[in-house]
Structure 1
Amino acid sequence: MTQLPNFDSLKWLAENEPDELEELQRKLCNEAIEHCPEANKKQLISMQHHLEQQLSRCSNPYHRCYLAMSIMNEKFLALNTIINNPIEFRQNSAEILDLNAKKL
């Protein structure tokens, strides 16, 4: 696995080579996902893609940090609900609509 640089190196990358820092982040995320059980990989890849899409809209590093924290907080709250109220979680269901069905 790729070794995470020290704080000063990361700070320098953020200030001088933000594209290189972003590539390092993507590489470390991909490596972490590769070391996860197969059952979780698709969900983690989806979460990573969603996070990257949201972060691409940010205008500055503080906005990126706040948005990342907000997204992760939402995930932790959902996980908390699943762990503490599994019956309530299982009762949530969605109606599946057939898009090919003709309306009368």
Structure 2
Amino acid sequence: MTELPDFDKLRWLAENEPDELEELQKTLCKEAIDCCPETNKEQLISMQYHLEQQLSRCSNPYHRCYLAISIMNDKFIALNTIMNHPQEFRQQNAKILVLPSKKLSTN
């Protein structure tokens, strides 16, 4: 498993080699996901993809940090709700809407 460099090295990478830092981040995330049970991998991959998409819109490192914290906080709140009130979570049902189909006119 790839070893995480110390803070000073990470800071230097952020200032001088941001592409290398991003590659390190992707490598560490992939290794962490690979160590997880198969049942959770798809969710983690999906979550990582969502996070990467959101972070790609950020204009600076502070925005990226704030957004990452916000997304993770939302996930922890959802997990806390599920763990503390599982009966409410299980009772949630999606409402399925039937959309009218478009009929193709044949002239």
TM-score bucket (shorter structure)? over 0.9
CA shift, 1:97, in A, is: 3.8
Aligned to 1:66: 66
Residue identity matched to 1:38: E
How far did 1:78 drift? 0.2
Aligned partners of 1:19 and 1:94: how far apart in 2? 41
Letter in 1 for 2:2: T
Counterpart in the other structure of 1:75: 75
Question: CA–CA distance in 2 between the matches of 1:59 and 1:80?
Answer: 31
Match of 2:6 in 1: 6
- Aligned residues: CA RMSD: 1.4
| TM-score, L = length of structure 1 | 0.93
Q: Which residue of 1 aligns with 2:40?
A: 40
Q: For residues 77 and 34 of structure 1, what CA distance do their matches in structure 2 show?
A: 25
Q: Secondary structure at the match of 1:27?
A: helix
Aligned residues: 102
Structure 1: 5+ residue stretches without partners: none
Secondary structure of the equivalent of 1:69?
Answer: helix
Amino acid at match of 1:22: E
1:50 Cα shift?
0.2
Choose 1 or 2 for highest CA Rg. 2
Q: Which runs of 4+ in 1 moved over 4 A?
A: none
Question: How many angstroms does 1:48 deviate by?
Answer: 0.1
CA–CA separation in structure 1 for the residues paired with 2:98 and 2:18: 45
1:88 aligns with 2:88: yes
Matched residue, 2:105: none
